[in-house]
């Protein structure tokens, strides 16, 4: 077990599952420059950590994440710094996609603007039935352009644009129907549901999971023929991994596989 304490992000590792907890509860986990930097550093450390099979992102307090720290940004009042902050946040969001390990968002409460973007940017998400979601910048006269990137790649276009243009909140059930989250569970069941999914993925052969995640995102925006070329190459390489050979042999021999660990 590995436990790392940072004032803004807490890390706890158990049985191949790394839990990162956003820890600005007094600020509703708003994405300050410091929080973005801390989360980026944790993701970079995890990237090369072969002991980590699955990452969970959760939050302390009454909100999952309410987006950027607008007070901090207004006090800085510098277009160059504002653009730099958005760029740093965008780079952090892209790290979620390129991280070898699958990432599950555990959403206990409200997720708005860049907080909603963070949920959309994770590979999977499980929400409490008390969670709510919005990209509400438009209510302040600010179209949530950067959250739109992640939202438009997860939701149907009309659902994404409705959220972006109205700024309205949606409940967890609606978020599930839109494709923003995978599961909705009672608040008291959230940790168990996330742990169950994380353990299920962590039990799979890690090389296949890593290759599969990489291929999934690589092929998404390619023409159909190119997507199949990429998939054909990936699945051929996957087929000859040691764990895959063992898995296929076990299936043919009607026995349980014995994975390398």
- Dihedral over alpha carbons 92, 103, 217, 68 (to 10 degrees): -30
CB under 8 Å to 38, separation ≥6 — which residues?
6, 7, 8, 9
The tens digit of pLDDT for each residue in 13-42 reads: 999 999 999 999 999 999 999 999 999 999
Tallying the residues shown for the chain, one arrives at 261
The tens digit of pLDDT for each residue in 173-212 reads: 999 999 999 999 999 999 999 999 999 999 999 999 999 9
Question: How far, in Å, are 98, 231, 240, 256 from residue 235 at the CA level?
Answer: 19, 6, 9, 22
The tens digit of pLDDT for each residue in 124-151 reads: 999 999 999 999 999 888 889 899 999 9
The tens digit of pLDDT for each residue in 35-57 reads: 999 999 999 999 999 999 999 99
Question: Reduced to 3 states, what is the DSSP secondary structure of residue 186?
Answer: coil
**Inter-axis angle of helices 79-98 and 206-220, to 10 degrees?**
130
CB under 8 Å to 200, separation ≥6 — which residues?
none
- Global pTM reads 0.91
């Amino acid at each position: 077990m590995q436990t790392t304490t940072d004032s803004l992000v807490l890390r706890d590792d158990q049985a191949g599952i790394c839990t990162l907890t956003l820890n600005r509860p007094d600020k509703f986990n708003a994405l300050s420059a410091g929080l973005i930097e801390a989360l980026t550093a944790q993701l970079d450390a995890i990237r090369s950590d072969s002991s980590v099979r699955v990452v969970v992102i959760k939050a302390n307090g009454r909100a999952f994440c309410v987006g950027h720290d607008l007070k901090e940004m207004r006090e800085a009042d510098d277009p160059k710094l504002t653009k730099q902050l958005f760029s740093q946040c965008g780079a952090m969001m892209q790290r979620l996609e390129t991280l070898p390990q699958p990432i599950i968002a555990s959403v206990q409460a409200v997720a708005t603007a860049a907080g909603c973007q963070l949920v959309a940017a994770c590979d999977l998400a499980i929400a409490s039935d008390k969670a709510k979601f919005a990209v509400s910048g438009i209510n302040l006269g600010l179209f949530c352009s950067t959250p739109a990137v992640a939202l438009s790649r997860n939701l149907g276009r009309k659902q994404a644009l409705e959220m972006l243009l109205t700024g309205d909140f949606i409940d967890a059930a609606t978020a599930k129907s839109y494709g923003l989250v995978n599961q909705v569970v009672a608040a008291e069941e959230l940790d168990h549901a996330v742990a169950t999914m994380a353990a299920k993925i962590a039990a799979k052969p890690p090389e296949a999971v890593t290759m599969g995640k990489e291929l999934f995102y690589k092929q998404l925006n390619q023409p159909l023929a190119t997507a199949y070329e990429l998939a054909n190459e990936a699945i051929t390489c996957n087929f000859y991994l040691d764990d895959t050979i063992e898995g296929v042999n076990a299936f043919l021999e009607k026995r349980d596989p014995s994975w390398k660990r």
